[in-house]
Structure 1
Amino acid sequence: MTWRGSLTNNLPERPAVNAFCNDVLSDLDAVDIAAHIQRGEFSINEVLNASIKRIENVNPTLNALARETYELARTQSQSLPDGLMKGVPSLIKDNENVIGLPTLHGSAAFDEKPATRSSDFVKQFDSLGLMTLGKTTLPEFGLTATTESTHLPPTVNPWNTKFSCGGSSGGSAALVAAGAVPIAHGNDGGGSIRIPASCCGLIGLKPTRGRLHNIQGSEAMPINIVNQGVLTRTVRDTATFLYGAEKYCRNHELPALGHVDSPNDNKLRIGFFINGPEHILTDSDCASAVLKAVKHCESLGHIVEEIPFPFDSKLGDDFLVYWSLLAFSLHVASKHVVGQAAKKDKLEPLTKQMSRNYLTQAYKTPFSISRLKHFAHTYEKVFKDYDVIVSPVLGHPPPKIGYLVGEDISLNSAIERLRRYVPFTAIQNISGAPAISLPIAMSQTGLPIGVQFAASYGNDKSLIELAYALEASEAFHGNR
């Protein structure tokens, strides 16, 4: 999707709720904004004020900002690092510590106690010169795939406010899609970057595990399934962010990524599948998006082959046991998991229901964790035959607000709806491998549909290069 260029020529399709206007930000991406600032064509203060105005314009409708930090950003703007995105406005999801601000994890159960230090990831994020204008919404602890709660209005989809923006990085996705900022932080423990990217028509990469600094507390998890990342409107913003983050701190156990700034002419072997395990059949709109994506891949000269769902159908059951274990841990021992003691009576019903449900499943835990730990070897076997695998991101387009979360929805119903909605994304959280959602199509009801491209452990570069090629070939839904 090419969002750069004149506001008056060849506009890409825009969300119903958007802040795009003829200010200094225009429809520029983060790389362009940083370049204008570096050349002295924009001042950082101009960019900051324009983005604040945009947020104030759309957030009353979107409900995507958990907390504004405008004055902090004004102070921060006076001494920004000389990073690749110096002066670019951005946002942090409210499950990362930013010094001086409370971290509430989308919950009403915590006191607003300011963090005494920024997390390692936030320091890495800040190293690019990004300005943080606020913290964005998420469902409590990121436990579901929509950004809704019982104590706040739902965060809605800017394309149609009756629908979910996805989760758990929904607040960041909604504000990037609406043009309030060009880039925002997200993290992904079961699809929480890729799901809202798909719902809102964005680029959403879950990098290889360890490519970026880990989320707080991940070292205590039996399996680290949560990865940091960003949501953007252009491939180069995602690639440039990763390059800048790598310059600040590189994980030498992974292949260096470097500055990926263009497609690669290498012809890839691509396997694709449309349906999930067993009874999970993909909606026709999402299936059509996959077929559109692989057709574009074929037109680029890649070798494409349809394959059956390549993993054990019981993988989702094991992941659900582990996910329920996390909910139980957050319910009974949040102090040890996120560093804060939660008021248990103020936790969301879903958190408490999942925690109680775990007690009926706890005996399965050793076996589920053992299988999940060994899954990485199974996952890598697929890449003996293929360089990239393509699948839907979601089983169906974004649901209406209230479909996944509500007082009248039993836990069993919520789980079954989640199984059908998000059967594809947790695969790479378990394996640790990279996967990216690209905005390939629109549903018949006018909502974005992402397609997932996944690679082997450490091979983020191939995904970014392919994303560049698809963006240039006008495969994305916003291209005309």
Structure 2
Amino acid sequence: MNPVDLAFAPALEQARLIRKKEVSPLELVQLYLERIERLDSRIGSYFTVIADLALEDAKAKTKALAEADPEEKFPPFFGVPTAIKDLNALAGVPCSYGNPMLKDQIATHDAAVVSRMKQAGFIILGKTAASEVGSLPYTEPEGFPPTRNPWNLDYTPGGSSGGAAAAIASGFCSIAQGSDGGGSIRGPASCCNLVGIKPSRGRVSYAPVGDCQSGIATNGPLARTVTDAAALLDVIAGYETGDPYWLPTPSSLFIETSQQGLAQPLKVAFSTGIHPIGEADPVGQQAVLETATLIQELGHTVEQACPDCSDLIEPFSVVWRAGVAASGIPAEALGSFNRWLLSHNDSSGDYLRAVWAMQTIARRIVAFFENYDVLVLPVYLHPPIRIGEFASLTPEETLQRIIHWIAPCPPFNATGQPAIAIPATFTPEGLPVGVQIVGRPAAEATIIALAAQIESVNQWSEKRPVLED
């Protein structure tokens, strides 16, 4: 396998090659570090690269593999390089939250997802770029270079997990962790021709910290294939002591679900838009319609329908913007948009009334799924925006543009339902466009199995952007 093919190989394939000793963890880390050094100045996917730590870990794992008994079992991702979003703590490494004033703030602990990924054998290459405190669906925080989409460098890879998605799509790692509080995994996956899973509320812990936004956000995987994403979800899922939300451990691993298929046909709803915002652009509509047709050809029952998401925008916005205040970053240190959000900070009573309203509306949305197993929707209502496209807008105008762009995502942060974004098509400008599959509460297994069925036909992981010199 040539170096470029190896860089773009699925994470589980890399793990298999390592176990068979066809490639070593050290060789794989060196390959990615070389690509990052040579190419990432054009992309801006990493805030921090921890080359020395990654090489040290890779050498230790390479030595352990060489000295191991042939029958010795290794963790599932032993020796596979990955990256952590710079909203999550990695002990001994800066955690900036996309704020230039915090570039030198060193984390003193590992987030639970980081600990679980280390236990699974991953080697961490660094911290990926994110929008400031994760509040924006593009990754252009003030004081940092913008993160660009490797499919077309004039456009965004989305946000706030834009760095993670851009790194995978560019061949700077094969799999990565992201987080999603309003589409921040699904949006970048759609923009970069990747798979992204927003798990159910309570599936993945935020330990050792708490939840400050009433459960709208969660960590989750970004990958090139459904099986890779499912396997990473298996790694990071699970209860940690004191979690405010939790789910029972599923009867089967998600990776097994991705490989076994569905026991019976599903009843599938689809919509090319979201009420009350409106329809996706023509490319987004085409993506949904073609996906719905394929699902029907796979033997499932398909009909056009969508839950009523009206009245959700205002309460969700109150809960979402509270995250800026909860960050504790002083107003004078924030970027202009977040500074404006902070100036509109709501009272504790306003916040609790918004939570009450959001939860009431969420009940109505979840009730829709009493008649359907899954819902297929656009991820965003139009393709990725250009770098700097919103820069000349007022904060009020920016917020309205964001709402009309990402509208199909936040309802399922409000409900806590699982959703998976998968590739679907490309725009004339060569930009990926995905669709999302939303499942019933705690039903990741269903959406993963259906996504794997679709992937078996579409084979999207074989496509890659051209970045080589």
TM-score by length of 1: 0.88
Question: Quick one: structure 1 residues 27 and 103, their matched pair in 2 at CA, closer, same or farther if it must change by over 3 Å?
Answer: closer
Structure-2 residue corresponding to 1:357? 344
**What count of residue pairs does the alignment treat as equivalent?**
446
Structure-1 residue corresponding to 2:69? none
> Tell me, what secondary structure is at the counterpart of 1:271?
strand
Conserved? CA contact 1:285–1:444, under 8 Å:
no
CA distance in structure 2 between the partners assigned to 1:241 and 1:295 by the alignment: 29
The alignment status of 1:144 with 2:141, answered yes or no, reads: no
CA distance in structure 1 between the partners assigned to 2:218 and 2:410 by the alignment: 12
Structure-1 residue corresponding to 2:248? 253
Structure-2 residue corresponding to 1:13? none
CA distance in structure 1 between the partners assigned to 2:458 and 2:145 by the alignment: 36
Question: Quick one: structure 1 residues 395 and 325, their matched pair in 2 at CA, closer, same or farther if it must change by over 3 Å?
Answer: same
Q: List aligned pairs for 1:308-387, cutoff 5 A.
A: 309-330=306-327, 334=328, 342-359=329-346, 364-387=350-373
> Tell me, what secondary structure is at the counterpart of 1:66?
strand
CA distance in structure 2 between the partners assigned to 1:397 and 1:216 by the alignment: 36
Structure-1 residue corresponding to 2:388? 402
Structure-1 residue corresponding to 2:296? 298
> Tell me, what secondary structure is at the counterpart of 2:404?
helix
> Tell me, what secondary structure is at the counterpart of 2:153?
strand
Question: Quick one: structure 1 residues 48 and 462, their matched pair in 2 at CA, closer, same or farther if it must change by over 3 Å?
Answer: same
Match for 1:463 among 447, 452, 459?
447
Conserved? CA contact 1:138–1:169, under 8 Å:
yes
Following TM superposition, by how much is the alpha carbon of 1:260 offset from its aligned partner in structure 2, in angstroms?
2.4
Following TM superposition, by how much is the alpha carbon of 1:176 offset from its aligned partner in structure 2, in angstroms?
0.1
In the TM superposition, what whole-angstrom CA distance separates every residue of 1:198-253 from its partner, at most 9, and x where no partner exists? Answer: 0001000011122122266433x251211111210011111112233458979653
Conserved? CA contact 2:10–2:228, under 8 Å:
yes
Conserved? CA contact 1:254–1:458, under 8 Å:
no
Q: List aligned pairs for 1:14-413, cutoff 5 A.
A: 21=4, 25-77=6-58, 78=60, 82-110=74-102, 112-214=104-206, 217-219=209-211, 221=212, 223-246=214-237, 253=248, 255-258=250-253, 259-262=256-259, 263-307=261-305, 309-330=306-327, 334=328, 342-359=329-346, 364-404=350-390, 406=391, 408-413=392-397
CA distance in structure 2 between the partners assigned to 1:467 and 1:442 by the alignment: 18
Conserved? CA contact 2:213–2:323, under 8 Å:
no
Can you give the 5+ residue segments of structure 1 that lack an aligned partner in the other structure? Answer: 1-5, 8-19, 335-341
> Tell me, what secondary structure is at the counterpart of 2:372?
coil
AA aligned to 1:233 is: R
Conserved? CA contact 1:91–1:183, under 8 Å:
yes
AA aligned to 2:229 is: T
In the TM superposition, what whole-angstrom CA distance separates every residue of 1:170-192 from its partner, at most 9, and x where no partner exists? Answer: 00100100111110110111110
> Tell me, what secondary structure is at the counterpart of 2:429?
coil
Conserved? CA contact 2:288–2:378, under 8 Å:
yes
CA distance in structure 1 between the partners assigned to 2:339 and 2:208 by the alignment: 22
CA distance in structure 2 between the partners assigned to 1:345 and 1:149 by the alignment: 15
Conserved? CA contact 2:99–2:142, under 8 Å:
no
> Tell me, what secondary structure is at the counterpart of 2:369?
helix
The alignment status of 1:422 with 2:406, answered yes or no, reads: yes
In the TM superposition, what whole-angstrom CA distance separates every residue of 1:433-476 from its partner, at most 9, and x where no partner exists? Answer: 10010001111221100101000111000111111100112274
Conserved? CA contact 2:205–2:238, under 8 Å:
no
Conserved? CA contact 1:110–1:343, under 8 Å:
no
Following TM superposition, by how much is the alpha carbon of 1:196 offset from its aligned partner in structure 2, in angstroms?
0.4
CA distance in structure 2 between the partners assigned to 1:31 and 1:397 by the alignment: 30
Query: Matched residues, percent identical?
Result: 30
Following TM superposition, by how much is the alpha carbon of 1:46 offset from its aligned partner in structure 2, in angstroms?
0.8
Question: Quick one: structure 1 residues 427 and 257, their matched pair in 2 at CA, closer, same or farther if it must change by over 3 Å?
Answer: farther
Conserved? CA contact 2:147–2:156, under 8 Å:
yes
AA aligned to 2:355 is: I
Cα-Cα RMSD: 2.3
Question: Quick one: structure 1 residues 33 and 478, their matched pair in 2 at CA, closer, same or farther if it must change by over 3 Å?
Answer: closer
AA aligned to 1:315 is: L
Conserved? CA contact 1:433–1:456, under 8 Å:
yes
AA aligned to 2:230 is: A
CA distance in structure 1 between the partners assigned to 2:31 and 2:4 by the alignment: 10
TM-score by length of 2: 0.90
Conserved? CA contact 1:193–1:205, under 8 Å:
yes
> Tell me, what secondary structure is at the counterpart of 2:420?
strand
Question: Quick one: structure 1 residues 252 and 164, their matched pair in 2 at CA, closer, same or farther if it must change by over 3 Å?
Answer: closer
CA distance in structure 1 between the partners assigned to 2:235 and 2:352 by the alignment: 39
